[in-house]
C-alpha cells in the first residue's frame, strides 16, 4: 500500500490510485504520487469534482471547500484521508 | 421506465462507469441533448444517459457553460444554438437570480428558453427550481408573505404557468427530488463553493432519471393497465397492501386486472372480504389454468392493448415487484416496492409506472426555418422584447483592468492553468516576479469583474508582447463566471488600447483547439471580433487570429 512518503516517481498502485485512475479514465500506471489537478492532463477541474465525489462516496468522508482545494496531488489526497481516519 | 426510488441506494459509481464505458463504443447515434444550467450540471449527464437507456440510442450531450442560459438561448452563434439539439434541458436556480426579482427573472429565463427551443426545433425540458436550502430569516421567514420561501414558491408557479400545457415543453420538478432526499442529503455547500456544483450526486441521479422519464413518456413509454398476480400473497397484511394498491390504481384511472391460478381463489376471497369495493375497482379477473403470460396477453387483447402496455405486479418472496416492458423493446425493467405492504401504494406512485403526460392545448408553433439561424442573422427578439444585447446591458457589467502586481501571481498562474473554457489553449510557463519586472513591451493585466448580481473578483488575465509592428496576445483568459457577459469585448478593447500604446498596427492572437476552449475560439472568429479590434477611443486595429497546433512553436512569456 502506498503512503504519503512514497517517492513521487513511483506509480502508486493501491485502492486510492485505482479509484482516481478509474475516474480519470487512465491506466493506474499513468499516475504518480505527484499527479493532481492541472498537473496530470486528464485531471481537469470537472474530473477533480468527480474525484471528490468518489472520495466522499467510497470513504464516507465529507470534504470542505478548503480541503477540496488542498487536494493538489494523490499524496495530498492520501494525507487528508489519513487525517480523517479513512484508510486509503 | 420506472423512476428510481429515493430511499433505495443506487450504485452511482457503477452507473457512471457504465456511461464511461458506453462513451468508448463509438460515436453517439441518439438524440442531441443540450444541458443549460445556472450551475455546474455536468454531473447529470451519466445519469440522464443511462436512464434514457437504449430507448433512443446513445445520446450526444452538449453542456453549455454554466450560468449562461439566456446568452446561449439568444445568441445565434452560441454553442447550443449551433449544436442541432433535439432536446434542451434548462435548469435555472433561484439563487443565481437577482434577489427580490426571482419571479421576473425566472419567467424571463423560461420564456427565453421556450422560444429558443422552438427556433431550434427542439423539445424543451424545463427544470422547476428547488426551494433555496436556507432562509436567512430563519423561522421568521415562515411568517412573512414576502419572505424568501414565499417568493421562491411564487417564482416556481409563475414558471410553471408560463410553460405548462405548451407543445414540445415538459416540466421536471427539482424540488420533488430535493424534498424526497432531504435538504441535508441533497445540497453540497463545499462543492458549490469550489466548483458551483450545488447538489450531491444523488440529486443529479434522480434529476437525470426524471428528465429521462418525461422524454420516455413523450414517446409513449408508459403502462396503460395493471395486472395484479394474487399468487403468493401470504397474510392479511399482504391482502390489505394489495387492496391499497388497487385503490390507488383505481383513483389514478389505471384499468386493473386480478389474475392467478385456481390456487389464488382463497386470496381473492380474502381480498374481497377485506374490501367489498374490490370487484368494482377491477376491469376483470381471471383465476384459471392458463399460464400467467397467457392471462396477461388475454387481458391486454380484451383491453385493446399490447402485452407490453400492461405492468405486472407480483409477490416475490417477501416483496412486491412491478415488471414493465419498455415500448422500444429490450429487457424488462423492474421496480421493487419493498416488503412493507403499507408503503406499496405510495411507492408505486413514486415509481411513475403509469404516468401520462398531459396533452398540450396550444397549437404547435411555426416550425423553425430550415437550417435554423445562420451566422450574421440579426439577434432575434424574444416575445418579451429581451435581446442578447439588452440582457447583457442589463447585467451592468464593469471590468477594471490593471497591471499585475507580485501579489497577483498566484491567482494569475492558477487562472492560466485552471481556465479551460475561455483560453487560447497555448501553454505558457508560469509567470514570475522577474516577468513583471521585465517591463518593455510586455504587459500583464488582471481584470476584475462585477455586475449587478455581485462582485466576481479577478476574472481576466491578458498577457501581451510587442513584437515589431505587432502586439502578440500570449494569454487571453476569462474565468467561467465572467463569460458571456460582454467581458470578452471589454477585454478586446483593453488589448487594443495597449497595442495602440505600444505603437503596434496589428494584434496577433494564436490559439489551439483543446476541445474545450471553443468559447474563446468562437469569439475570436465572430463578427464581434470581425478581423478588427477597436480601442476605447474608437480607433480600429487589424486583428490576425491564427490557429496553432502542438507542433507550432509555443508562445513564451520570457
Question: Does A48 sit within 8 Å of B190, measured CB to CB?
Answer: no
The C-alpha cell at B326 is: 419498455
- Architecture of the domain spanning B12-218: 3-Layer(aba) Sandwich (3.40)
Q: How far is CA B100 from CA B148, B454, B556, in A?
A: 9, 14, 48
Average pLDDT score over chain B = 87
Dihedral over alpha carbons B296, B299, B302, B308 (to 10 degrees): -40
Distance from CA of B193 to the nearest CA of A (A): 6
- Pull the grid cell for residue B104: 421576473
In this complex, do A64 and B190 lie within 8 Å of one another by their Cβ atoms? yes
Do the domains at B12-218 and B395-547 have one common CATH topology? no
The predicted pLDDT at position B536 comes to 75
3-state secondary structure of B126: strand
**B17 contact residues in A (CB cutoff 8 A):** 22
Q: How many helices (H) and strands (E) does chain B have?
A: 19, 18
Q: Please report the DSSP string for B443-503 in residue order.
A: EEEEEEEEETTEEEEEEEEEEEEEETTEEEEEEEEE-GGGTTTTHHHHHHHHHHHHHHHHT
Task: Output the nine-digit C-alpha cell for B302.
Answer: 380484451
Give, in words, the CATH class of A15-83: mainly alpha
The per-residue pLDDT for B373 is 37
The beta-carbon neighbor of B195 closest among A22, A49, A67 is A49
Gap between the Cα atoms of B190 and B337, Å rounded: 34
Q: What is the pLDDT of residues B300-347, one digit of tens each?
A: 998 899 999 999 999 998 899 999 988 777 788 899 999 998 999 999
Condensed to tens digits (0 to 9), the pLDDT of residues A6-42 reads 444 455 568 999 999 999 989 999 999 999 987 888 8
pLDDT tens by residue, B87-142: 999 999 999 999 889 999 999 999 999 999 999 999 999 999 999 987 778 888 88
Task: Tell me how far apart the alpha carbons of residues B67 and A45 are, in angstroms, rounded to a whole number.
Answer: 17
Give the span between the Cα atoms of B71 and B90, in whole angstroms: 13
CA dist B57 and B40 (Å) reads 25
A62 to B190: CB separation less than 8 angstroms, yes or no: yes
* Residue B479 in grid coordinates: 474565468
The 3-state DSSP class for residue B420 equals coil
**CATH topology assigned to domain B225-346:** Rossmann fold (3.40.50)
- Determine the average pLDDT of the residues in A50-77: 93
Other C-beta atoms closer than 10 Å to the C-beta of B291 total 10
Judging contacts by C-beta atoms under 8 Å, the chain A residues touching residue B201 are 53, 57
Cell of B235: 397474510
Sheet holding B532-534, edge to edge: B398-403, B442-451, B454-467, B470-478, B506-511, B540-547, B532-534
Other Cβ atoms within 10 Å of B458 Cβ, number: 18
Write b or e for each residue in B77-102: b if 16 or more Cβ atoms lie within 10 A of its Cβ, otherwise e: bbbbbbbebbbbbbbbbbbbbeeeeb
For residue B41, report the phi and psi dihedrals to the nearest 5 degrees.
-115, 15
Dmax (CA) for chain A in angstroms is 30
Q: Choose among A22, A38, A65: nearest Cβ to B190.
A: A65
B434–chain A nearest CA distance, Å: 23
Under 8 Å CB pairs connecting chains A and B tally to 46
Residue A38 has its nearest CB partner, among B189, B418, B516, at: B418
What pLDDT, on the 0 to 100 scale, is given for residue B428? 82
Residue A18 near chain B (CB below 8 Å): no
How does DSSP classify residue B58? S
Q: Shortest CA distance to B418 belongs to which of B430, B407, B406, B402? A: B430
Helix/strand number for chain A, H first, E second: 4, 0
Does A9 contact B at CB distance below 8 Å?
Answer: no
- Give the alpha-carbon dihedral of B538, B458, B39, B193, to 10 degrees: -170
Q: Which residues of A touch B194 (CB under 8 A)?
A: 49, 52, 65, 68-69
**How many Cα atoms within 13 Å fall on the side-chain side of residue A72?**
6
A7 at B interface, C-beta within 8 A: no
Hey, what's the torsion of the CAs at B335, B338, B339, B343, to 10 degrees?
A: -110
CA distance B220 to chain A (A): 34
Domain coordinates of chain B in residue numbers?
Answer: 12-218, 225-346, 395-547
Q: What's the pLDDT score for residue B382? A: 45
| Superfamily classification of domain B395-547 | Gcn5-related N-acetyltransferase (GNAT) (3.40.630.30)
Concatenate the DSSP letters of all residues of A60-88 into one string.
Answer: -----HHHHHH--SHHHHHHHHHHTT---
pLDDT score of A64 more than 80: yes
pLDDT of residue B240: 85
- Helix, strand, or coil here: B527? coil
How far is the alpha carbon of B188 from chain A, nearest alpha carbon, in Å?
Answer: 9
Judged by DSSP in three states, B30 sits in: coil
ipTM: 0.81
Grid cell for residue B7: 430511499
Residues of chain B with pLDDT under 50: 362-383, 554-558
Q: Do A54 and B13 touch (CB under 8 A)?
A: yes
Cell for B284? 376483470
Residue B516's pLDDT is what?
81
Count CA atoms within 13 Å of residue B493 on its CB side.
Answer: 14
pLDDT tens sequence across B237-260: 888 888 899 999 999 999 999 999
Predicted pLDDT at B380: 40
Q: What are phi and psi of B83, to 5 degrees?
A: -85, -5
Q: How far is CA B444 from CA B423, B461, B463, B478, B504, in A?
A: 15, 7, 5, 14, 16
Quickly list DSSP for B334-347.
EEE--S-GGGHHHH
Q: Contact at 8 Å (CB) between B481 and B438?
A: no
What Å distances lie between residue B207 and B73, B213, B533, CA to CA? 22, 10, 44
CA distance A61 to A58: 8
What percentage of chain A exceeds 90 in pLDDT? 62
A57 neighbourhood in chain B, CB within 8 Å: 12-13, 201
- Please state the domain extents for chain A: 15-83
The answer to whether the Cβ–Cβ distance between A45 and B418 falls below 8 Å is yes
Amino acid at each position: 500500500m502506498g503512503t504519503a512518503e512514497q517517492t513521487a516517481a513511483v506509480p502508486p498502485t493501491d485502492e486510492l490510485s485505482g479509484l482516481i485512475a478509474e475516474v480519470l479514465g487512465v491506466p493506474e500506471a499513468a499516475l504518480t504520487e505527484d499527479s493532481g489537478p492541472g498537473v496530470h492532463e486528464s485531471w481537469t477541474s470537472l474530473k477533480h469534482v468527480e474525484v471528490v465525489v468518489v472520495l466522499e462516496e467510497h470513504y464516507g468522508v465529507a470534504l470542505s471547500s478548503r480541503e477540496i482545494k488542498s487536494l493538489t496531488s494523490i499524496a495530498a489526497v492520501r494525507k487528508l484521508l489519513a487525517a480523517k481516519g479513512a484508510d486509503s | 421506465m420506472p423512476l428510481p426510488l429515493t430511499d433505495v441506494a443506487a450504485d452511482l459509481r457503477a452507473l457512471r462507469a457504465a456511461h464511461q464505458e458506453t462513451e468508448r463504443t463509438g460515436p453517439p447515434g441518439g438524440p442531441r441533448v443540450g444541458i443549460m444550467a445556472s450551475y455546474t450540471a455536468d454531473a447529470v449527464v451519466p445519469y440522464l444517459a443511462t436512464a434514457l437507456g437504449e430507448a433512443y440510442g446513445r445520446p450526444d450531450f452538449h453542456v453549455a457553460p454554466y450560468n449562461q442560459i439566456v446568452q446561449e438561448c439568444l445568441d445565434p452563434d452560441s454553442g447550443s444554438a449551433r449544436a442541432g439539439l433535439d432536446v434542451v434541458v434548462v435548469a435555472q436556480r433561484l439563487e443565481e437570480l437577482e434577489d427580490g426579482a426571482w419571479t421576473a427573472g425566472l419567467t424571463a429565463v423560461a420564456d427565453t428558453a421556450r422560444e429558443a427551443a422552438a427556433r431550434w426545433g427542439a423539445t424543451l425540458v424545463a427544470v422547476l427550481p428547488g426551494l433555496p436550502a436556507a432562509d436567512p430569516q430563519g423561522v421568521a421567514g415562515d411568517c412573512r408573505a414576502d419572505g424568501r420561501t414565499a417568493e421562491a414558491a411564487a417564482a416556481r408557479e409563475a414558471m410553471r404557468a408560463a410553460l405548462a400545457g405548451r407543445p414540445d415543453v415538459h416540466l421536471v420538478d427539482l424540488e420533488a427530488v430535493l424534498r424526497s432526499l432531504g435538504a441535508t442529503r441533497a445540497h453540497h455547500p463545499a462543492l458549490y463553493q469550489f466548483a458551483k456544483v450545488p447538489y450531491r450526486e444523488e440529486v443529479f441521479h434522480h434529476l437525470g432519471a426524471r428528465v429521462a422519464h418525461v422524454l420516455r413518456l413523450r414517446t409513449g413509454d408508459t403502462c396503460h393497465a395493471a395486472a395484479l398476480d394474487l399468487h403468493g400473497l401470504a397474510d392479511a397484511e399482504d391482502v390489505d397492501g394489495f387492496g391499497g394498491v388497487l385503490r390507488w390504481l383505481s383513483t389514478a384511472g389505471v384499468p386493473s386486472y386480478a389474475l392467478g391460478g385456481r390456487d389464488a381463489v382463497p386470496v381473492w376471497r380474502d381480498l374481497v372480504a377485506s374490501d367489498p369495493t374490490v370487484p368494482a375497482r377491477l376491469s376483470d379477473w381471471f383465476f384459471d389454468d392458463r399460464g400467467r403470460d397467457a392471462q396477461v396477453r388475454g387481458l391486454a387483447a380484451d383491453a385493446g392493448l399490447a402485452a407490453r402496455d400492461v405492468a405486472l405486479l407480483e409477490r416475490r418472496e417477501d416483496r412486491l415487484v412491478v415488471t414493465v416492458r419498455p415500448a422500444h423493446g429490450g429487457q424488462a425493467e423492474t421496480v421493487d416496492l419493498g416488503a412493507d405492504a403499507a408503503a406499496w401504494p405510495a411507492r408505486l406512485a413514486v415509481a411513475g409506472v403509469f404516468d401520462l403526460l398531459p396533452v398540450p392545448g396550444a397549437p404547435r408553433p411555426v416550425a423553425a426555418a430550415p437550417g435554423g439561424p445562420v451566422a450574421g442573422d440579426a439577434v432575434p427578439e424574444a416575445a418579451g422584447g429581451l435581446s442578447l444585447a439588452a440582457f447583457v446591458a442589463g447585467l451592468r457589467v464593469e471590468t477594471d483592468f490593471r497591471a499585475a502586481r507580485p501579489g497577483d501571481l498566484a491567482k494569475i498562474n492558477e487562472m492560466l492553468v485552471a481556465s479551460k473554457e475561455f483560453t487560447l489553449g497555448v501553454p505558457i510557463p508560469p509567470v514570475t516576479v522577474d516577468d513583471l519586472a521585465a517591463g518593455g513591451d510586455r504587459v500583464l493585466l488582471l481584470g476584475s469583474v462585477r455586475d449587478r448580481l455581485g462582485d466576481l473578483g479577478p476574472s481576466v488575465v491578458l498577457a501581451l508582447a510587442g513584437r515589431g509592428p505587432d502586439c502578440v496576445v500570449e494569454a487571453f483568459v476569462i474565468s467561467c463566471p465572467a463569460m458571456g457577459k460582454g467581458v470578452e469585448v471589454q477585454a478586446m478593447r483593453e488589448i487594443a488600447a495597449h497595442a495602440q500604446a505600444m505603437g503596434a498596427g496589428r494584434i496577433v492572437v494564436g490559439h489551439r483547439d483543446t476541445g474545450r476552449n471553443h468559447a474563446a475560439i468562437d469569439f475570436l472568429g465572430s463578427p464581434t471580433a470581425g478581423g478588427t479590434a477597436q480601442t476605447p477611443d474608437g480607433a480600429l486595429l487589424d486583428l490576425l487570429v491564427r490557429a496553432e497546433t502542438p507542433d507550432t512553436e509555443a508562445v513564451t512569456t520570457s
